[in-house]
Amino acid sequence: MPHPAAQDPLEPQIDRWRQYLRRRQTVHSVDVAELEDHLRELIASLMTGGLAADEAFLVAVKRLGAIDALSREFAREHSDRLWKQLVTQGEAPTSPRLRREPFVAFGLAVAAGVLVKLPALFGLDLDADGAFYARNATLFILPLLTAYFGWKRDLPARALALPLVMFIGALLAANLPTFTPGGATEPLVALHLPIALWLAVGIAYAGARWREVAGRMDFLRFSGELFIYFVLIALGGGVLLATSAGIFESIGVDIEPFMEQWAPSLMLGAIIVAAWLVEAKQSVVENMAPVLTMLFTPLFTIALLLFLGTAAWTGRGVAIERDILLLFDLLLLLVVALLLYTLSARDPHRRVGAFDRAQLALILAALAVDMLALSAMTLRISGMGVTPNRVVALGLNAILLVNLAGAAALQVRFLSGRTPFARLERWQTDFLPVYGGWATFVAVGLPALFSYA
């Protein structure tokens, strides 16, 4: 059966790539036929995502370079010339869907901004302290972001059925009449609901590839790059708003109340714009990931080791108060996020080096900190009773303990050459539903256990 990407205009380019690899087989051991199958599958997947055939070829060759040294050399030596050849063959390679994408993205961004203001526009004062919006903020933006990926990937309705059910369930869980505003579980629901619903976005982002390790890893990479773009947009937007307020003030007009009123709308809209930029400019951000991981992995390791050393030197136990619990969990989650982003940025065929050993040191330090916090929390609960916050912290730290322990064991085996790199990726991506399931329990099940306290 011919591959979907096997279109006549691309065959000369694929043939040139194939011949390049075959000429270099004396230097590198490579299965050209297997790589060609992978290349054509990448092309077909990219075309399904909205790219034109010639664009898909260029992007596929570059992505294939992440797992094959010869393809990486070919992309580096030929990409500029290939691009010029493909463009000069006819009209610039843009599909109708690709041309409409900026308008769709900005339209959804505007819709998100307007949607969050609908209650106020209709004169509904839902709550003065903002608790309603804290619980429902993600429901104003994540369904639209899911719709964007559903449109971009041209997903069938059945592929979006599960995300739709998740969003409806979240809407009910956050706004049931029996939910007591201001209760102990309300901030926990507001914090964990976005985590559970982010997996719904992932299902739409990866489409049929969500069941594959590569599909989930792509979503993790996208999540990190989205965060980077959003921060950059937020910083630029903050400068723009500050300077605008200044110049309006010079003519005696105070626009700060107006900006404060619409700032949440701008922030929600910026998330969709950032997602579109990540999709449109993937080659720009992917070079930032190795730099960020190389910088922060040793810094986090040093910070954790200093904490452990100080705790051992002073002999003091960990003061497990509410704010301290939050700090511990935030730090450990940042370590896991850094670990995931490092895996997504690493060349699977790169030799084991000093950075991989530094990563093991980070995992072991985080594991020791987690065990210290977990033991202190267990003693606290046994002596002072169970509260929603303590249950959440205990469960999250137990999950982190299993995740970090498995990661440490696999990292040791990887460093000794007994486990392939793909096994490390699979462990982390297979753990995503565990975090999603726990977040769902906290957002939906925990309030019921504590009678919506």
Whether residues 172 and 275 fall in one domain: yes
Task: Show the domain range for 21.
Answer: 8-88
Neighbour count for residue 329 (Cβ, 10 Å)? 17
Structure tokens at 421: 């790199």
User: What pLDDT is recorded for position 407?
Assistant: 93
Residue where a domain stops, chosen among 50, 66, 88: 88
**Cα–Cα distance between 202 and 429 in angstroms, integer?**
12
Is residue 15 a part of any domain in this protein?
yes
Is residue 93 a part of any domain in this protein?
no
User: What pLDDT is recorded for position 410?
Assistant: 93
Is residue 448 a part of any domain in this protein?
no
User: What pLDDT is recorded for position 453?
Assistant: 47
Q: What single DSSP character describes residue 9? A: G
Q: Chunked in runs of 10, what are the mean pLDDT values of the chain (453 residues)?
A: 48 75 56 77 74 73 66 57 44 59 89 83 58 83 93 87 91 72 74 89 88 83 85 81 72 75 83 86 56 78 84 68 69 85 76 87 91 82 77 88 94 90 88 90 81 53
Whether residues 406 and 373 fall in one domain: yes
Is residue 2 a part of any domain in this protein?
no
The total number of structural domains in the chain stands at: 3
Unique residue bearing structure tokens 């297997």: 34
Per-residue burial over 101-130, b if 16 or more Cβ lie within 10 Å, else e, is beebbeebbebbbebbeeeeeeeeeeeeee
Whether residues 192 and 293 fall in one domain: no
**Cα–Cα distance between 360 and 363 in angstroms, integer?**
5
Whether residues 259 and 134 fall in one domain: yes
Is residue 123 a part of any domain in this protein?
yes
**Cα–Cα distance between 181 and 136 in angstroms, integer?**
13
User: ∠386-392-397 over CA atoms, to 5°?
Assistant: 110
Whether residues 236 and 102 fall in one domain: yes
Whether residues 336 and 362 fall in one domain: yes
Residue where a domain stops, chosen among 213, 248, 283: 283
Whether residues 272 and 169 fall in one domain: yes
User: What pLDDT is recorded for position 325?
Assistant: 67
Whether residues 275 and 298 fall in one domain: no
Is residue 427 a part of any domain in this protein?
no
Whether residues 140 and 267 fall in one domain: yes
Is residue 453 a part of any domain in this protein?
no
Determine if the pTM surpasses 0.85: no
User: What pLDDT is recorded for position 285?
Assistant: 47
Unique residue bearing structure tokens 């190795």: 290
Is residue 346 a part of any domain in this protein?
yes
Residue where a domain stops, chosen among 283, 310, 332: 283
**Cα–Cα distance between 129 and 132 in angstroms, integer?**
8
Which positions ≥6 away from 193 have C-beta within 8 Å?
Answer: 135, 138, 170, 173, 174, 439, 443
Whether residues 299 and 387 fall in one domain: yes
Which positions ≥6 away from 402 have C-beta within 8 Å?
Answer: none
User: What pLDDT is recorded for position 323?
Assistant: 62
Whether residues 339 and 414 fall in one domain: yes
Whether residues 175 and 139 fall in one domain: yes
**Cα–Cα distance between 257 and 251 in angstroms, integer?**
16
